Structure 1
Amino acid sequence: MKITQCGHSAVLVEVADRRLLIDPGNFSDGWHGLTDLDAVLVTHQHPDHIDPEHAPALLAANPEAQLWVEPSVLENVELPQGKGIAADSQVTVSGVTIAAVGGTHAVIHRDIPVVGNVGLVISAPGEPTLFHPGDSLAAVPKGVDVLALPAHGPWAAMKEHVDFARAVGAPTGFLIHHGLLNERGYSLSYNRIGEMSPTELLDLRHGNPYEF
């Protein structure tokens, strides 16, 4: 499995000779211009996870790519194609299994409506298993080898991120959802979570493929 971080929560996963892009949002642009994608996956409807301005061009440049999104995305974001993947269901893209877990976004504030969110567990025979939770720390799937761990959000505190990393127990991982952090904030999350959880964190902000 090769993983390329494309900024914020956007992650390119190359596994079993397939290329899957997760959460091409408007806090990142490293995914602009990507081609030869087999699937585009979206955890929820917020624009930092699905960019309504640039996503249509991405899909047009990848006409053979399957688009699987949390179901409410289809109702709230104008996209030329796509199918819903609900929590507790799974789909297969040419031998790669994508399982959806969770179901709801973390609470930002009691006065802000909660939207849908699916964490995505990506696996293939003989490959590591990746978990990208989107914007929720509620679901804790078993057997995760690589954790895409949110570094920061208006919906969580560091103590929750530490406990989430401990609960998942993945041996390796990297931070996502860091688009609102400066270098000091990123370093704080990276060092503290790394010290207090069993997960060895890698800094993949360089944007180069890393093989797990």
Structure 2
Amino acid sequence: MRITKFGHACVRIEHEGEVVVLDPGVFTDAEAVDGASAILITHEHPDHYFPDHLRASDAPVFTIEAVAARLREDAPDLAERLTVVAPGEVFDAGLPVRAVGELHAVIHEDYPRIHNSGYLLSVGEATVYHPGDALTVPDGAVDLLLAPASAPWLKLSEAVDFVRAVGAPRSLAIHDRVYSEVGLGMVEQHMGNLLGDSQEFLRLADGADL
């Protein structure tokens, strides 16, 4: 298994010839989708969904109905590549995947909540969880959590409690363009202080592999 951290919320997972790319948004370089065998989109916000990146690949796109509806409007040329998945559904994107959750985290009570699906991927003997923009804890063990580190909807205490609740032995920071390097360093320091020896929290530069 090879996992590459790309811009913001985008992660590329390679395993036994399959290349699954999650959330290549506007803060992600188009190279993230090179050779992709499948692309997964958690929700419609542009930092997770950018039609031009989808056009840069011929891979099938798996996503929820809210994103599919937006895609049919924004980029009807991509509609034939869409597969819509529902909360709790198990599907094959080259790797086995289960959709987790249904709603985006609350940014402010005055904003209507949009739909969001996290994805729990089986990668060989390991499970990898990308929650999108939500703090939904999946059923079952997670080996690697792709953990949001900064967001308008996220407090540090919530980020720590989410990592603790998921219980993965290793977490990789994603969703990291909102804070400065100083702010992200503070997140890393607090995670190290509060998680204990049984859980590791990692930050990687864009383009680096785990």
Unaligned runs of 5+ in 1: none
Aligned partners of 2:49 and 2:105: how far apart in 1?
A: 17
1:202 and 2:196 aligned: no
Q: Is the 8 A contact 2:3 2:11 kept in 1?
A: yes
**C-alpha distance after superposition, 1:54-99 (max 9, x if no partner):** 22432xxx32x221012200112324131211211011133x1111
1:71 and 2:65 aligned: yes
Which residue in 2 is equivalent to 1:27? 27
Secondary structure of the 1:201 match is strand
Aligned partners of 1:129 and 1:74: how far apart in 2?
A: 26
User: Counting strand residues as a fraction of each chain, which structure ranks higher?
Assistant: 1
Secondary structure of the 1:25 match is coil
Aligned partners of 1:131 and 1:33: how far apart in 2?
A: 18
Report the residue type matching 2:85 in the other structure. Answer: I
- Find the partner of 2:178 among 177, 180, 184: 180
TM-score (norm 2): 0.90
Identity, % of aligned pairs? Answer: 35
Which residue in 1 is equivalent to 2:135? 137
CA distance 1:150–1:7, shift in 2 (3 Å): same
Q: Is the 8 A contact 1:45 1:70 kept in 2?
A: no
Report the residue type matching 1:208 in the other structure. Answer: A
Unaligned runs of 5+ in 2: none
Secondary structure of the 2:126 match is coil
Report the residue type matching 2:105 in the other structure. Answer: A
TM-score (norm 1): 0.89
Q: Is the 8 A contact 1:119 1:136 kept in 2?
A: yes
Which residue in 2 is equivalent to 1:190? 188
Deviates more, 1:168-177 or 1:198-207: 198-207
Secondary structure of the 1:111 match is coil
Which residue in 1 is equivalent to 2:36? 37
TM-fit CA distance, 1:138:
2.4
User: Counting helix residues as a fraction of each chain, which structure ranks higher?
Assistant: 2
Following TM superposition, where does structure 1 have runs of at least 4 consecutive aligned residues deviating by more than 4 angstroms?
A: none
How many equivalent pairs are there? 202
Which residue in 1 is equivalent to 2:50? 51
Report the residue type matching 1:149 in the other structure. Answer: A
CA distance 1:132–1:33, shift in 2 (3 Å): closer
TM-fit CA distance, 1:195:
2.3
Q: CA RMSD in A?
A: 1.6
